[in-house]
Amino acid sequence: MKTFVRMLPRAFAVLLAATVVLGVAYPLVILGVGQAFFPYQANGSVIEVDGKAVGSELLAQWFSDDGHMWGRVMDVDTSSITTSDGSSTLYATPSNLSPASDKYSQLIAERAAKLRAANPDEGDTAIPVDLVTCSGSGLDPDISVAAAEYQIPRIAAATGLSTDKLESIVDDATTDRFLGVFGENTVNVLKVNLAIDAALGE
């Protein structure tokens, strides 16, 4: 018992030191490093147009008109929560449907039919799989280069922009593989659509 009592002050001292170092000092150092060297990334990679935040390049936004590029399927909970400042919070989740289920096959068929109807110039060209499937997060902001190129004829017809111009926009919004080896080249949908708006003077 005496040994236990003697150890208590030492135990509390270790607890206090760990709390200060790991709970206060370490987070402040990481925050400082992030703000000093990576402020854009540390603050959510928010894209601004004319000083106004229009979205984050890390989160998908919904586009459905013919004049903009479409992203991946968003699996979003439609019951939003309104915060005190009037903004709404949406929750995204991955789909738990099995690829072997009839419901999943029906969903894929419906999405493919919608894409073919919206992109008639592509004819029987295979639809890139990321345009008819949901990502693990449900809010993937990027699509494959093939998925972006598949939509160029539709966007050109709707906006009057040349295919060369749209291909240049897609190239500018494309991120190469990590270290040139890992993953695939991806296209940020929000960046493409903002560039399309800019090209149209909107």
DSSP secondary structure code for residue 134 in this structure = B
Average pLDDT for residues 108-134, to the nearest whole number?
Answer: 88
Least confident residue range of 54-68, 78-92, 181-195: 78-92
pLDDT band at 94 (very low <50, low <70, confident <90, very high): low
Is pLDDT above 70 for 111? yes
For 19-42, the pLDDT digits (tens) are 989 998 899 899 888 888 887 777
Is pLDDT above 70 for 116? yes
Residue with the bigger pLDDT between 6 and 189: it is 189
Are 131 and 119 in contact by the 8 Å Cβ rule? The answer is: no
Average pLDDT for residues 97-124, to the nearest whole number?
Answer: 85
* Sign of the CA dihedral running 200, 71, 146, 109: negative
Domain ranges of the chain: 2-41, 58-199
pLDDT at 89: 59
Q: Is 174 exposed, middle or buried (0-12, 13-18, 19+ CB in 10 A)?
A: middle
Average pLDDT for residues 57-70, to the nearest whole number?
Answer: 87
For the entire predicted model, the pTM comes to 0.75
State the virtual CA torsion across 61, 65, 70, 74 in degrees, nearest 10.
Answer: 50
The alpha carbon of residue 117 and the mean position of all alpha carbons in its chain are separated, in whole angstroms, by 25
pLDDT band at 144 (very low <50, low <70, confident <90, very high): very high
pLDDT at 100: 80
Average pLDDT for residues 50-65, to the nearest whole number?
Answer: 81
